[in-house]
Amino acid sequence: MTLRPNVGDSLPELVTVSRQAVLEEAEALRDAMSEFSSAPQPGCPSELDGNAWPDPAAPNARERRRLLDLIRHQAMLVFANAYDHLHTLGRSLGTDGSMPLFSHTTTSRVVCEAAVRFAWQHDSSVSSEERLVRGAVALLDSEEQRLKGAMRLPAQFSPRQELIDRSTGERDRAREIIASAGIRLVPARSGTSTAHLELDSPQVSVPVKLDITGLMAALLTESPTWYNVSSGVTHSLYWGLRDAVASVHGEPVVLTPDLLDVGAAAESAISASGLILARCAVHYGHDPDAHVRDTAQRRESIDTLMRPIGAARWAQRGRAV
């Protein structure tokens, strides 16, 4: 559902500035990722990962390189998902003269989740072995979630068993690839699922279940509660939807986008892009500072417009009390 201003009116400045900032950030993210990945610097984490198991005769060396290739492909798709939703968010904010009522929130949420997943896997502070295990966790979790979805299909759905068999096969292949790399799959107490992936030397243990809410708070410090706030729209909860109601209770319902939500969605997505940029720059041995400064300036251009709107809103609520 999109809304257009009345004839002769223009979109609010916060919406047009947010659109410009998000689209600029999307372009910067695409260009920077291409620049970094095409020119890895000597001694960077990416190079260290690629050379971590140089002896093909060493135990699990070939299998670990095979797993690393799969993990890198996975990370590339996570980045592509973040970029696609970031660019879509920008285009949705008035490119055709209209603006969304709620969907900017969920689009931004996808960018943020992709960013923290990408950043968690590209943590330069951990060893190549731990990055390998983290990538394996993301790979296994993906296949487990796919199988879970297939299992929940109704029995009368004719392709159900085919999808279950295919998903089971993919999950089992992922387990085999991980195990052949010398990574142990530690079962949960129930024995029906995997709780941790572990290496003995060096000692690495990573839970299979990712805490995305925790990662959001830890990695996107400028928007620590956005994942929780955006769940109101994502899950169609009343508290998350009623901010778009512009009419008085008892009168016909009039809906309009909440400008502060628009700004928060744009800011959070821009910060998420900045997180990807920073982690990717370090991963390939580049200095992220200039890119991070540009990202911060784009966010600030939105925040400058949000502050007076927020102050006026709180003042009005204070008078109402």
CA angle, corner 188, sides to 187 and 192, nearest 5?
80
Question: Tokens at residue 263, please?
Answer: 């700004």
**The pLDDT of residue 52:** 92
Would residue 176 count as lying in a domain?
Answer: no
Q: How far lies 297's CA from each of 95, 218, 222, 292, 312, in Å?
A: 22, 22, 13, 9, 24
Residue 34 has pLDDT above 60, yes or no: yes
Kindly indicate the confidence band of residue 318, based on its pLDDT and cuts at 50, 70 and 90: low
Question: Tokens at residue 132, please?
Answer: 């390998």
Number of CB atoms found within 10 A of residue 40's CB:
16
Q: Which of 25, 31, 67, 23 is nearest to 49 (CA)?
A: 67
Kindly indicate the confidence band of residue 321, based on its pLDDT and cuts at 50, 70 and 90: very low
Q: Is 275 exposed, middle or buried (0-12, 13-18, 19+ CB in 10 A)?
A: buried
Backbone angles phi, psi at 123, to 5 degrees: -85, 110
Would residue 250 count as lying in a domain?
Answer: yes
Would residue 105 count as lying in a domain?
Answer: yes
Would residue 178 count as lying in a domain?
Answer: no
Would residue 186 count as lying in a domain?
Answer: no
**The pLDDT of residue 4:** 66
Would residue 291 count as lying in a domain?
Answer: yes
Q: Strand pairing partners for 196?
A: 186, 207
Amino acid (one-letter) located at 204: V
Q: How far lies 195's CA from each of 74, 138, 167, 169, 190, in Å?
A: 21, 13, 20, 20, 10
pLDDT by residue (tens digit) across 86-133?
999 999 998 888 889 999 999 999 999 999 999 999 999 999 999 999
Would residue 217 count as lying in a domain?
Answer: yes
**The pLDDT of residue 74:** 96
Residue 270 has pLDDT above 90, yes or no: yes
Backbone φ/ψ region at 8: left (φ over 0), alpha (ψ -120 to 50), beta: left
State the total domains in the chain: 1
Number of CB atoms found within 10 A of residue 155's CB:
6
Residue 2 has pLDDT above 60, yes or no: no
pLDDT by residue (tens digit) across 146-198?
999 999 999 888 899 999 999 999 999 999 999 999 999 998 888 778 899 99
- Domain span holding position 294: 2-58+67-123+210-314
Would residue 296 count as lying in a domain?
Answer: yes
- With pLDDT > 90 as the criterion, what percentage of the chain qualifies? 74
Q: Rounded to an integer, what distance in angstroms lies between the CA atom of residue 199 and that of residue 123? A: 18
Q: Is the pTM above the cut of 0.85?
A: yes
Kindly indicate the confidence band of residue 134, based on its pLDDT and cuts at 50, 70 and 90: very high
Q: How far lies 123's CA from each of 48, 264, 280, in Å?
A: 13, 26, 9
Mean pLDDT of the chain: 91
Kindly indicate the confidence band of residue 220, based on its pLDDT and cuts at 50, 70 and 90: very high
